[in-house]
Structure 1
Amino acid sequence: MEIAHFSDLHYSPERLDEADRCFGFAVSDAITRGARIAVVSGDSTDHRLDAHSPALVALARQIHRLAAAMPVIMLQGTFSHEPPGTLDIFALMGSTHSVFVANRIQQVAFASGGFLASAGAVFSEKELALVIAMQPDAVFTCLPTVNKGQFAASVGALAAATDLGDVLATYLAASGRVNARLRDAGIRTVGISHGTVNGCETEHGVTMAGFDHEFSLSALFDAQCSAFLLGHIHKHQSWERAGQRIAYAGSIGRFHYGEQGDKGYLLWEVDTHSASAELVPTPSRRMLCIDFDGPPDMARLAKFAADSGDAFVRVRWQVDEEHRQSVDRAAIEAMFAHAPGVKIEPRILPVVRSRAEGISLERSVDAKLARWCELTDVQASPLLERLQLLESGDANAIAQSILAGLEGALAEATPATPLTLVDNSASVVVDEPALVSASAGQSLDWLEGDLFAA
């Protein structure tokens, strides 16, 4: 049985062009390929949408078109993207076939083009006997996003971070016992969920490792599903064990800069004891990310601009705070004026000034100053004299002595013969002023350097 698996559509006003172009292509392709049933594994919307929003209208149109060709299952995704109740309206959008909204933990049998849901989390013995007698095309184990707030309220905030995975693993093991009996009866078993598998990679190549993720691979395989269809992570990836396969479809389009790999939907071929999946790429937009460790190289940027075509462009660089004005942002924006989108992200490195080594180890101000002079190759004696003067002298007395010294120096430097203006027709004769040396009893050492150098 062929299943068209879509995920993370993220319809919103901001992402409408990308989402609708890619999802529209995927819907048309799945219909052309003759898929038996369609699954949307969460995050159909990016956030709460008003009923009159063009993004919601576009999504409804595509779901209605999909339901005209095959039955559809829509799974509840992350609550921040799909607030509870958002998907309920899509259950009314079926046409030739119905749209089933899986907004609670349950098992669903797909038979004769319709859906039969379990009353509880798994089929009871009575329900299971009925399902086996029906011989449905497949039984879906639906595990939508768990409300972590409610879970934390029931088990405590500290336990919620690590216990959620154990609780979900317990449920998957219980559903696995039911699914094993269904597989023995020749019925296909398929899992659908929205969450993070410990050890998976994000669309930016970051490995998700921790104790607070929803699933482990062993727990998912314990569900005894031939195929397990996952959403939430935007990068396509899959795992296989003894014929069972687990896979993320990834996002339908490229919504962020730096996303790795192709975007698309998965076309599954599911049998009772095996499954395979093919990624069908969608016409997602190209994104060009240009990073510089230092200031941007304008020549390289010009080459990138010439080859960028219709790509969305992001330029990053880092520069010292003192040289931030040396980068011409307007020129960079002008280079990529033809691009449908340009994002410029400079990183300004603050200037960090550290104290000279060893100063903090000295106990007196004199010693600290002498240590600083030693490290900076500055003559210490004039500075130490001035420091002692500041410590022991009166401020007014110091100021008076400085002014007196300045007046004496100016008087001694006055030219011996004043300049004389003569007739314009005659040449101007200027006597060189005689330099008067300092008197024997007066020293000009205090004029050397900065009087208040520290």
Structure 2
Amino acid sequence: MRIAHFSDLHYGAATLEEADRCFGAAIDRAIAEGVEAAVISGDATDHGLDLHEPATRRLCAQVRRLADHCPVLMLQGTFSHEPPGTLAVFGLLGARHPVYVAERIEQVVLMEDGRWLSSTGWRFDLVPAGARALLTCVPTINKAVVAATVGAVEAPQAVGEHLALLLRGFALTNRRARARGVPTIAVSHGTVFGSVSEHGVPMAGFDHEFSTGVLFSAETQAVMLGHIHRHQRWEQEVPEGRQCIAYAGSIGRFHFGEHGDKGFLLWEVTPDGAACELVPTPARRTIDIVFEGRPDLEALREAAASHGIDGAHVRVRWTVADEDRHAVDRAAIARLLAGAAHTKLEGRIVPIVRARAPGISQLTSLADKVQRWADLTGVEPTCVLDCLEALVERAPAEIAEQLLSGSAETHELEPGGPGQQDEVRGR
């Protein structure tokens, strides 16, 4: 079977333009390639959407257009992106072919007449007659439920252990399907240990749902994954054929700094093996220009010319001290990047940090505290101490009168020449 695998569409108010342009182009290509079925492996929406929102209407229209060409299966994704129940409306679209929404752990068969048939329990004991493909569906796991059962500390390990048992339990039905010449596919939404995020960060931790070994243990030929926004794959040859695990990645580029192409996967799945190809979409181009200090306008002009910013989304970052924060000419930067489709300016301000003087609070006199401060900061304290003594011994009016008359005296200076008077004025 030839299957189109889409994932992480993230339709929402802020992402609509990027998501709809890329998903629309992907559907056009999938139809042109003559795919026999389509899978959307989670996070079709970026957040809970109201029915009257433009993003809802556009997503429904695109899924309807896809379902007019072939049967579509949609998997429940991350709860924060797709609150439970969000996808139910897509099963009511009434296109030429049905849209099946997988919201629980189950197996689903695509029948020869184009219908979807789901298992009453978590799996089929026997593969239904007339099956064209068998899909094992494992949507996002609610870790809160697991934590409520086994405790928050044990929850991450418990999720992994139970998923490993679950996927091994699907192997028997998948072997029976393969023996009857039916392609087998697993569809899930989660994180594979050792996968790499769209920003190049390896996903290593105890709270990730899968390992490649656990996914291969279900004995399906293809494993279609969602959640990670970067396309990547793992393959192995076994006596039963070639197994392949792959993330489709996000349909578009929704954040700055994302690595790799964006697109959807075109799968060829047989009872003996699976292979996939990434088909790029017209995702937006993003450019990051980073300055360690204050932005250099000439360097920025050269970077803009070398990268070709016309139509791109450009982010300029810089780091400056707090006293230089107002020296950055944001208007000049915006003028230099006028050809960009969108410009984002991010300045990081390093605050001035003043160290405390250790032990200063234990000193009894103000003069001793000033002396301690001067020692730590490298300041000559004589002038400050003289002024402090004058404040203590003289009335404010007397000090002001002496300063204004230009004949102020201190206990260290006798009335005399102009040089002494200038020194007093300086103090």
Question: Considering the TM-score relative to the shorter chain, is it more than 0.5?
Answer: yes
Q: Which residue of 2 aligns with 1:118?
A: 119
1:259 equivalent to 2:254? Answer no
Identify unmatched segments of 5+ residues in structure 2.
none
1:323 aligns with 2:333: no
CA shift, 1:148, in A, is 2.4
Contact kept? 1:36, 1:70, Cα under 8 Å:
yes
CA contact (8 A) 1:135 1:187 kept: no
Note the C-alpha offset of 1:400.
4.9
The aligned amino acid for 2:10 is H
Report 1:55-204 matches (<5 A). 55-112=55-112, 113-124=114-125, 128=126, 130-131=127-128, 134=129, 136-204=131-199
Q: Rg bigger for which structure?
A: 1
Q: Which whole-Å deviations, capped at 9, do the CAs of 1:285-319 have from their partners, x for residues lacking one?
A: 11111111111110122234442010011111110
* Alpha-carbon contact 1:22-1:253 (below 8 Å) kept: yes
| 1:238 counterpart (225, 233, 236) | 233
Tell me which residue corresponds to 1:5. 5
Query: How far has the Cα of 1:136 moved from its partner?
Result: 2.2
Partner of residue 426, structure 1:
none
Measure, in 1, the Cα distance between the counterparts of 2:55 and 2:425. 76
> What is the CA distance between 1:372 and its match in structure 2?
5.2
* Aligned: 1:343 with 2:341: no
Q: For 1:385 and 1:153, how far apart are their aligned partners in 2? A: 70
Report deviation, 1:386. 8.1
SS in 2 for 1:324: helix
Structure 2 distance, partners of 1:408, 1:255, is 66
**Residue 280 (structure 1) shift:** 0.2
CA distance in 1, matches of 2:85, 2:59: 16
C-alpha displacement of 1:58: 1.3
Separation (CA, whole Å) in 1 of partners of 2:379 and 2:70: 85
Q: Distance in 2 between matches of 1:408 and 1:263?
A: 74
Partner of 1:433: none
SS in 2 for 1:246: strand
Structure 2 Cα separation of the partners of residues 400 and 316 of structure 1: 54
Contact 1:194–1:232 (CA<8 Å) still a contact in 2? yes
Aligned partner of 2:333 in structure 1 is 332
- Correspondence for 2:205: 210
Once the two structures are superposed, residues 188-246 of structure 1 have per-residue CA deviations (whole angstroms, 9 ceiling, x without a partner) of 21000011112211111111111111112211111111110000111111111222111
Structure 1 pair 147–374 and aligned structure 2 pair: CA distance change class (3 A): closer
Amino acid at match of 1:85: G
For 1:138, what is the secondary structure of its paired residue?
A: strand
- The CA distance in 2 between the partners of 1:23 and 1:280, in whole Å, is 12
SS in structure 1 at match of 2:311:
coil
Deviation of residue 13 (structure 1)? 2.4
Distance of aligned partners of 1:382 and 1:106 in 2 relative to their CA distance in 1, 3 Å threshold: same
Distance 1:3 1:409, change over 3 A: closer
- Residue in structure 2 matching 1:223, options 218, 238, 261: 218
Give the aligned residue type for 1:2.
R
Distance of aligned partners of 1:401 and 1:191 in 2 relative to their CA distance in 1, 3 Å threshold: closer
Q: Is the 8 A contact 1:73 1:100 kept in 2?
A: yes
Deviation at 1:149, TM superposition (A): 2.6
Alignment of 1:271-286 (within 5 A): 271-286=270-285
Contact 1:359–1:372 (CA under 8 A) maintained in structure 2: no
State the TM-score, normalized to the length of structure 2. 0.87
Q: CA distance change for structure 1 residues 122 and 172 in 2, over 3 Å: closer, same or farther? A: same
Once residues 11 and 154 of structure 2 are traced to their aligned partners in structure 1, the CA distance between those partners, rounded to angstroms, is 34
User: What amino acid sits opposite 2:9 in the alignment?
Assistant: L
Deviations 1:155-214 (A, max 9, x none): 333322332122211111111233233323432210000111122111111111111111
Tell me how far 1:321 sits from its aligned partner: 0.3
Seen in structure 2, the aligned counterparts of structure 1 residues 349 and 375 have a Cα distance that, compared at 3 Å, is closer
Identity %: 49
CA-atom RMSD in angstroms: 3.1
C-alpha distance in 1 between matches for 2:406 and 2:370: 35
CA distance 1:382–1:184, shift in 2 (3 Å): same
State the partner residue of 2:293.
294
Instruction: Map Cα deviations across residues 356-378 of structure 1 (whole Å, 9 max, x no partner).
Output: 6x767997878776565556555
Q: Is the 8 A contact 1:179 1:223 kept in 2?
A: yes
1:115, 1:241 → 2: CA distance? 29
Whole-angstrom distance in 1 between the partners of 2:407 and 2:64 = 101
What TM-score do you get using the length of structure 1 for normalisation? 0.82
Residue type of the alignment partner of 2:83:
P
Q: Which ranges of structure 1 fall in alignment gaps of 5 or more residues?
A: 414-435
- Structure 1 position 258, deviation (Å): 1.1
Distance change >3 Å, CA 325–CA 267, structure 1 → 2: same
Aligned counterparts of 2:406 and 2:58: Cα–Cα separation in 1:
90
Equivalent pairs counted in the alignment come to: 412
Letter matched to residue 28 of structure 2: S
Larger deviation, residues 219-228 vs 177-186: 177-186
